[in-house]
Structure 1
Amino acid sequence: MQFKKTYKFAFYTSLFIALLTTFVLGIFLYIQNLWSWYVLAFFVIIFWLSFFVIQHRVQNFIYKRVNKIYEDLTLLESAEFTDKKVTTDMATLTQEIDKYARDKKFEIESLKIRESYRKEFMGNVSHELKTPLFTVQGYVETLLDGAMSDKKITKKYLERASKGVERLIYIVNDLDMLTKLEVGNLVLNKEVFNIIDLVQNVFDLLEMKAAKRKITLTFDKVYQEPIYVFADKERIQQALTNLIVNSIKYGREKGTTEVTIEKLLKNKFIVRVTDNGEGIEKTNLKRVFERFYRVDKSGSRKEGGSGLGLSIVKHIIEAHNERIYVESEHNVGSEFSFTLSKPVE
């Protein structure tokens, strides 16, 4: 006969009590020559009476003490437990408590990681904003201290201060963009467009920047036919620009940045941006899309930028419900790739 697991303790304890008391009563009645089939009725009554008493009392006993433990532990919320019926099955109860404790431990570890990222993020924001602010402040104070009398110096310092302000605006705009992407407030204006033309436009825009480092921007082959995708053209151009700028910034001088567009699935294309630059060590690969995360803690800042480029790329691609990937080998090069959907026919 099968019984619910939660009643096993009460069942076996009641059975033991009923058998023991019936056995003792049976022996007494046998000695007194008073044996009767009423003994069986006694057995049934004792069994069910014991069962209900034990089930009720032990359940309340466990509930009160376990609930007290939950109330005493500041990291566990007793409110989550009070609505659950505590059973007399200790194995099940132990499993439930262990699971609850593991969940809470995981939450605490996640909070610690987030706190660590928050502190690092705040430190990075402070550093990124502090540098251009001090630059602007230094030039303005120099002018106020008397340098304005020299027109050449005034013009020179104002131009440098202007560049510092531009960098501040750049960082703030990127932070604003990233915030909108993360909270989902950025509306995508999807349309059908030729991704080949878009990549070529980005090449044209960055041609001079690449020429300064003698880096060649090129396709992997000549694309005779257009390749149409369905996405937000402006956002994808921004994502491509960030990736190619990144490849120029960290690429090898006289190197190459190559864009490849391949058919991935029946309704998907994959766009690859490959360079033969310094590459990324494996320990840094998992964090390259984090806000302000720098692979090179010193040299990368000399190249300018907000430190948010890759993070913005990731959020733009994910806002399209697409995937982004990175593969890299230190001192060999890197490849960033992302998927795009074909137009619905």
Structure 2
Amino acid sequence: MKLKNRMVISFFVIILVPLILTGVAVAGFTMYQVWSLEKKYGIEGVTYENLSNNTMLLSKMTQKTFSTLEKTASSDSEKLEDTSYLDSLNQNLTGKNAYLLVRKDDDVFYCGAQTQDELLFSELPEYGDASAGNDRGVYIGADVQSLVKQVDFTFTDGTKGSAFIIFHSNSMVPQLKRILLDTVFVIVLILILTALGLCTWTYRGVMTPLNQLKEATKNIKEGNLDFTIEKTGVDEIGDLCDDFEEMRKRLKESAEEKVAFDKENKELISNISHDLKTPITAVKGYVEGIMDGVADTPEKMDRYIRTIYNKANEMDRLINELTFYSKIDTNRIPYTFNKIHISDYFEDCVDELSVELESSGVSLTYFNYLEEDAVVIADAEQLKRVINNIVSNSLKYMDKPKGVINIRLRDVGDFIQIEIEDNGKGIAQKDLANIFERFYRTDASRNSSKGGSGIGLSIVKKIMEDHGGQVWATSKEGTGTTMYLALRKYQEVPVHE
């Protein structure tokens, strides 16, 4: 979820949730207080309207006492002259914020309050006031604010009297106070819990992924890249986690590539140094022989010089491979593409190879199965490097007394297929898929007769791919190996006027 959406949700939640929960809580408290009022004061039919109107509620709470007072006044008014009876009635009003007052003529006969309010007494309704004798009472509010219920009667001596149930309308029933206090408490509690929940939700949505990113930067600083960063929290930071995870993967790949590259370089240096040491040792030996006069005949001198020349060529080839290898890694291979007539090109190439192979005791046979002279777009020098590397590899692993190399050209649709076959020791099937990888060697133990840098066939693959072609091999152990090269034919596109 986006941080913007999270903030919008938080805004509405912090408004709506407290309102809803407060409403539910107030409804629950009100129902409980209604039940409590009915049970405590013995009244029935308390409604929400009564609770919202303090005067109505107080009137309803004294209704039973008022009815008793009316009944006594009409049937047995003498009891209203008995202070003990009046005390019992006043006792029923205790706790209801009301009290009983009996007036005899213009004087107070009985007052259930601890102190008498002279202002209230002066404002009491007159004897026979019909409005003060109803169930709801009459409100007096000149100098005091009270609700008065009045019952008129006559004393035994003929004096007019009135019994009043009086309660101050500004006084509040304890249950209503409790509802207000509980409501305020619940509102404050709900606001605190809602704010706390939303703050926790937002904090976790932001801080959890930030802590994860902090831990990730610490791991990277310490060189540890073997961990994962999962997308969590708000979308904006989640996207940052995804980017950070992608960066970590690339850093790990780069580190692994660097380790592999360093390993390859070390292996290359080891291979080159080993393979250079052999011809250098031979050159030194033959030069020392010449200096010591061992080559004392023209024939022996010629053989020594030719051997030195061949060893120098071998060192030159190794150095060229090393130079070319550095160009592969920096993608700076100098290509010069031209149209090449493939038949003519291979005839010249075979002529050059024949001289070298003849001196090695290996026969070379060339077969051209092309029906017409085909043209390819290629770099003649780099294509020759491909052929030489394959042939050199064949010579290196030639184990037959009479070595044979066959070169065949075939037309396979849009491609020219070049096949270079030898009758060497062959390659095991488990090794065949890896022979074009850098530094891969089928023989684990190197020796001077089967040396090499280990990058010859990887160079072949790189050059063929840069030509838009392919290279693959088939082999059988003990029989020989065939290398296949495929180059796309050049075709003229007709221009229609």
C-alpha distance in structure 2 between counterparts of 1:187 and 1:150, whole Å:
43
Compared with structure 1, are the counterparts of its residues 98 and 185 closer, same or farther at alpha carbon in structure 2 (3 Å cutoff)? Answer: closer
List aligned pairs for 1:14-25, cutoff 5 A. 21-22=18-19, 24-25=21-22
SS at structure 1 position matched to 2:266: helix
Compared with structure 1, are the counterparts of its residues 6 and 191 closer, same or farther at alpha carbon in structure 2 (3 Å cutoff)? Answer: same
Work out which of the two has the higher radius of gyration on C-alpha atoms and give 1 or 2: 2
* 1:238 counterpart letter in structure 2: R
C-alpha distance in structure 2 between counterparts of 1:200 and 1:150, whole Å:
39
- Report the alpha carbon displacement of residue 294 of structure 1 after superposing the two structures with TM: 3.7
- Report the alpha carbon displacement of residue 271 of structure 1 after superposing the two structures with TM: 2.4
CA contact (8 A) 1:293 1:307 kept: yes
CA contact (8 A) 1:218 1:258 kept: yes
- Report the alpha carbon displacement of residue 122 of structure 1 after superposing the two structures with TM: 2.3
Where structure 2 has 5 or more consecutive residues not aligned to the other structure, the ranges are 31-50, 53-178, 180-187, 493-497
Question: Which of 252, 260, 263 lines up with 1:113 in the alignment?
Answer: 260
CA contact (8 A) 1:263 1:270 kept: yes
Q: Deviations over 1:96-149 (max 9, x none)?
A: 4777666655555444433433332221122112222333344455666xx158
Please tell me whether residue 70 in structure 1 is matched to residue 216 in structure 2: yes
C-alpha distance in structure 2 between counterparts of 1:70 and 1:173, whole Å:
45
The corresponding residue for 2:379 is 232
C-alpha distance in structure 2 between counterparts of 1:242 and 1:155, whole Å:
28
TM-score scaled by length of structure 2: 0.52
The corresponding residue for 2:410 is 261
The corresponding residue for 2:340 is 193
SS at structure 2 position matched to 1:114: helix
- Report the alpha carbon displacement of residue 269 of structure 1 after superposing the two structures with TM: 2.9
The corresponding residue for 2:464 is 317
C-alpha distance in structure 2 between counterparts of 1:87 and 1:297, whole Å:
52
C-alpha distance in structure 2 between counterparts of 1:155 and 1:100, whole Å:
63
Mean Cα deviation higher: 324-333 or 103-112: 103-112
Compared with structure 1, are the counterparts of its residues 135 and 15 closer, same or farther at alpha carbon in structure 2 (3 Å cutoff)? Answer: farther
Q: Deviations over 1:304-331 (max 9, x none)?
A: 7665532332232223232222232323
C-alpha distance in structure 1 between counterparts of 2:475 and 2:245, whole Å:
41
C-alpha distance in structure 1 between counterparts of 2:453 and 2:213, whole Å:
51
CA contact (8 A) 2:439 2:453 kept: yes
Compared with structure 1, are the counterparts of its residues 240 and 149 closer, same or farther at alpha carbon in structure 2 (3 Å cutoff)? Answer: closer
CA contact (8 A) 1:202 1:237 kept: yes
Please tell me whether residue 341 in structure 1 is matched to residue 493 in structure 2: no
Mean Cα deviation higher: 285-294 or 272-281: 285-294
C-alpha distance in structure 1 between counterparts of 2:277 and 2:384, whole Å:
30
Compared with structure 1, are the counterparts of its residues 155 and 331 closer, same or farther at alpha carbon in structure 2 (3 Å cutoff)? Answer: closer
CA contact (8 A) 1:14 1:54 kept: no
Question: Which of 193, 217, 220 lines up with 2:365 in the alignment?
Answer: 217
Compared with structure 1, are the counterparts of its residues 254 and 273 closer, same or farther at alpha carbon in structure 2 (3 Å cutoff)? Answer: closer
List aligned pairs for 1:10-159, cutoff 5 A. 21-22=18-19, 24-30=21-27, 31-32=29-30, 53-54=199-200, 56-73=202-219, 74-75=222-223, 87-88=233-234, 96=242, 106-140=253-287, 147-148=292-293, 151-152=296-297
Q: Higher helix fraction: Structure 1 or Structure 2?
A: 1
C-alpha distance in structure 2 between counterparts of 1:134 and 1:323, whole Å:
39
Q: Deviations over 1:3-57 (max 9, x none)?
A: x47789889999998887556522442224679xxxxxx9xx9999678745642
CA contact (8 A) 1:180 1:186 kept: yes
* 1:338 counterpart letter in structure 2: L
C-alpha distance in structure 1 between counterparts of 2:310 and 2:424, whole Å:
28
TM-score scaled by length of structure 1: 0.71
CA contact (8 A) 1:292 1:306 kept: yes
CA contact (8 A) 1:199 1:240 kept: no
CA contact (8 A) 1:215 1:248 kept: no
* 1:29 counterpart letter in structure 2: V
SS at structure 2 position matched to 1:336: strand
Compared with structure 1, are the counterparts of its residues 291 and 171 closer, same or farther at alpha carbon in structure 2 (3 Å cutoff)? Answer: farther
The corresponding residue for 2:146 is none
The corresponding residue for 2:394 is 247
Q: Deviations over 1:204-236 (max 9, x none)?
A: 2222444554534132x6434212212122322
C-alpha distance in structure 2 between counterparts of 1:210 and 1:264, whole Å:
32
C-alpha distance in structure 2 between counterparts of 1:209 and 1:156, whole Å:
16
Where structure 1 has 5 or more consecutive residues not aligned to the other structure, the ranges are 36-41
SS at structure 1 position matched to 2:314: helix
SS at structure 2 position matched to 1:206: helix
The corresponding residue for 1:277 is 424
Compared with structure 1, are the counterparts of its residues 338 and 50 closer, same or farther at alpha carbon in structure 2 (3 Å cutoff)? Answer: farther
- Report the alpha carbon displacement of residue 162 of structure 1 after superposing the two structures with TM: 4.2
